[in-house]
């Protein structure tokens, strides 16, 4: 099932003109039960059973929430709301100019945030055997 979302995401990103994101490496990878787009290693979009979600700054999120069908991202019914993400209505994915603008804003926003802290691997103490 995740393959389906990866294919959708690759096709969507492939439809966008590449000129507006010069110098940024975009990668689509598997992400839980879906797929995600990473800009220079930082996640900025995902497509899962919940829909296509895009990470945006607050002003952009607020404006989108006025669009019919837009909603904040929540992967599970009782799960936490991912406050930086908006799930776009399917019709909006057909509007290439709007989508291109949102993707550019998303990538710029993701790259403006502090780099994620890489966790050190946890090494368990060895059990002694007698």
| Within-domain flag for 30 | yes
| Within-domain flag for 89 | yes
**20-26: average pLDDT:** 82
| Within-domain flag for 70 | yes
| Within-domain flag for 124 | no
Residue 54, token pair as written in the block: 């895009």
CA distance linking residue 78 with residue 57, whole number of Å: 24
pLDDT per residue as tens digits for the range 58-82? 999 999 999 899 999 999 889 999 9
The number of distinct structural domains making up the chain is 1
CA distance linking residue 5 with residue 22, whole number of Å: 25
| Within-domain flag for 122 | no
Contact 44, 109 (CB under 8 A): yes
pLDDT per residue as tens digits for the range 24-49? 888 999 988 899 999 999 999 999 99
| Within-domain flag for 123 | no
Helix (H/G/I), strand (E/B), else coil: 108: helix
- pLDDT confidence tier of residue 116, bands split at 50, 70 and 90: confident
Residue 58: domain span = 2-112
**110-125: average pLDDT:** 79
pLDDT at residue 95 tops 80? yes
| Within-domain flag for 125 | no
Look at the alpha carbons of 8, 60, 22, 38 in this order and tell me if their dihedral is positive or negative. Answer: negative
**Predicted TM-score (pTM) of this structure:** 0.84
| CATH number of the domain to which 101 belongs | 3.30.1460.30
């Amino acid at each position: 099932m995740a393959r389906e979302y990866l294919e959708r995401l690759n096709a969507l990103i492939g439809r966008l003109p590449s000129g507006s994101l010069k110098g940024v490496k975009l990668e689509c990878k598997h992400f839980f039960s879906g797929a995600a787009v990473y800009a220079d290693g930082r996640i900025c979009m995902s497509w899962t059973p919940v829909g296509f979600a895009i990470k945006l700054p607050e002003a952009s999120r607020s404006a989108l929430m006025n669009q019919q069908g837009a909603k904040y991202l929540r992967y599970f019914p009782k799960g936490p709301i991912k406050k930086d993400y908006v799930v776009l209505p399917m019709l909006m994915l057909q509007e290439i100019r709007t989508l291109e603008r949102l993707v550019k804003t998303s990538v710029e926003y993701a790259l403006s945030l502090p780099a994620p802290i890489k966790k050190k691997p946890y090494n368990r103490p060895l059990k002694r055997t007698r």
